[in-house]
Amino acid sequence: MINIDIIFCPGGATSQTGTAVAERYPGCSISSCGKILDVFEQLESNAGPYALPIWNSHQGEVEDAKDVWKCIEESKIKISDIWAKKIEFWFLKRTVSVISYGIIGSVKVAKTQCSAFLEQKSAQFKGYPLTNDALQAFQDGAELDGVLITPNQCEHGVNYEVAATETANPNNFTSFVTFVPTRAFDVDFSTANSVLTGITMGALGSYSSDAERSLFEKMFHTVTDLNHIPKLIFVFDRDSRVGLLFEGKRLDEGDLADADEIERDELSIHGDAGATTRCYTEELRELFRLNFPSLNSDDFIVHHGVDTCLFACPPLDLYTHGYNADAVERAVRYYISELFQCWTNGGMTCTAEQDKFFERYKDSWEENRSEFMQFKPISPTGGNE
C-alpha cells in the first residue's frame, strides 16, 4: 500500500528489527536510523517509512517505542503494516576460549527473552541498547564471555564461533510496525484489507463504565458477520487512561461515540490509525500454528512474561496483547461477553466451529457473564504454569 524501496530501522540490517524487515520485505533496502528513540526526532525531516518493535511476548511493551501509541493519538503517524516474528538468539564466543558463561552481553530485552538459558548457565547478563552494540563491544574487547546475537549477524571467521543456537525461551515472538508520518500516508482505505482504529478511554476498572458499554455495543450491534467485527489486538495502559487498538473494518467516530462522550473526554477516537494489506490476526494465528502451538491449545489462553501478557481465544481469532494484565483481561472479558450477547440475539453469521464454541459455553455465560472464562496459563519458559 505504501511504496517501499527503503525502510529505516534501529540498528540497520543486522539488528533483530533489520532481520525482521528483510524477511517481511525481500529486496528492500534497509538503513539504520540510530536507536529507537532517534526515530521520533526524525519524523519531521524524514518521511520514512520506519520499522520498530513495539511488543515482545516475554518483555512486554518495548519501552523506547512507547511513543508509537502517543504519535497515533496525536495523529503524527499512520501504520502501514503490523506483523509478528519468532525471535531467536545465537550465543557467540571467541574461538580461542573455553566455553564460559560468566558474563553474557546482548540487547537489554534478551535478559527476559533468554532467561531460561541464562539461568541454566548461571550467567550474569550485561545489557546494551541493540544487539549490534553488544557485538561491537565484544569485538572491541569488552569483558564478556560471549554475546547473544541475531542469527547470522557476525562474520565469524577464525575469531568467533556459535556455541549455541537454541537460547531463546519458548513462545518468544516480537510484534513490529511499519509507519510513516501522516503527511506521507497515501492510502485508499476502501481497498484496505484491514484498517486500524485507535481508541483512548478511561482506565478499565472492575466495573464497566457507561462509555465502555456504549463503545462495544455500538461497535458490534450493526455487524451481521462475527468475523467482520474489528479485533482488539493491543491494550496500551497509560496511568489513568487506556488505549485500545483494533483491526478490521473502517470505523468512524460517529459509529462509536456520541458528542457528549467526546465532550466529556470519556472517549477519543483515532480513526484511520493505519491500514494494512495483510491481517495481523490471521498471520499471528498461522505463526502460532507453525511455531507456538501451545498458544492455540485451548479455547482461552493467557501467556505471561515480565510486565507483559497475551490473552487469546483461538476459536474467535482473538489475540490481545498488553502489559498490564488486569487491564487487558478486563477488556478481553468484556469484548468476548459482548460477542456472546450478539450471538444470543441471533442474526449474526459465524463458522460452524464458532457456533459450537458458543453452544459449548452458552449456559455458563448466561449464568456468569464475562466471568465464565477460565484462561489456561502458558509458562513463558515452556509448558503450562
Residue 4 CA to residue 25 CA, distance in Å, equals 8
Residue 358 CA to residue 327 CA, distance in Å, equals 24
Q: Domain 6-84 classified CATH 3.40.190.10?
A: yes
Which pTM was predicted?
Answer: 0.86
Confidence of residue 236 (pLDDT cuts 50, 70, 90): confident
Sorted by where each begins, the domain ranges of the chain are 6-84, 90-164, 187-373
Q: Over range 251-268, report the average pLDDT.
A: 65
- The percent of residues in the chain predicted with pLDDT above 70, rounded, is 90
CATH top-level class for 90-164? Answer: alpha beta
With the CA atoms of 76, 325, 333 and 280 taken in that order, what torsion angle do they form, in degrees rounded to the nearest 10? 50
Residue 309 bridge partners (DSSP): 304, 322
* Encoded amino acid at 231, one letter: K
Confidence of residue 264 (pLDDT cuts 50, 70, 90): low
- The grid coordinates of residue 329 equal 483481561
Q: Is the pLDDT of residue 293 over 90?
A: yes
- The grid coordinates of residue 322 equal 498488553
Q: Over range 178-206, report the average pLDDT.
A: 82
Span 103-141, pLDDT tens digits:
999 988 888 889 889 999 999 999 998 888 899 899 898
Span 50-87, pLDDT tens digits:
999 999 888 778 888 889 999 999 999 999 999 999 98
Residue 130 CA to residue 36 CA, distance in Å, equals 9
DSSP string across 180-202? EEGGG----GGG-SEEEEEEEEE
Which runs of E-coded beta strand occur in 144-280? 146-149, 160-164, 173-181, 194-202, 231-238, 241-248, 267-276
How much is the pLDDT for 287?
95
Residue 85 CA to residue 174 CA, distance in Å, equals 6
Is pLDDT larger for residue 217 or for residue 6?
A: 6
Asked, colleague to colleague, whether 6-84 and 90-164 share their fold, the answer is yes
Distance of CA 151 to the CA centre of its chain: 21
How much is the pLDDT for 16?
84
Angle between helical axes of 325-345 and 210-220 (0-180°, round to 10):
50
In whole numbers, what is the pLDDT of the chain averaged over residues? Answer: 86
Residue 109 CA to residue 94 CA, distance in Å, equals 23
Q: Over range 22-48, report the average pLDDT.
A: 91
Residue 106 bridge partners (DSSP): 127
Q: Is the pLDDT of residue 184 over 60?
A: yes
* Strand-pair category, 90-94 with 146-149: antiparallel
How much is the pLDDT for 31?
93
How much is the pLDDT for 376?
95
Q: Which of 154-158, 275-279, 310-314, 365-369 has the lowest mean pLDDT?
A: 154-158
Span 133-171, pLDDT tens digits:
899 899 898 999 999 998 877 655 668 888 899 898 888
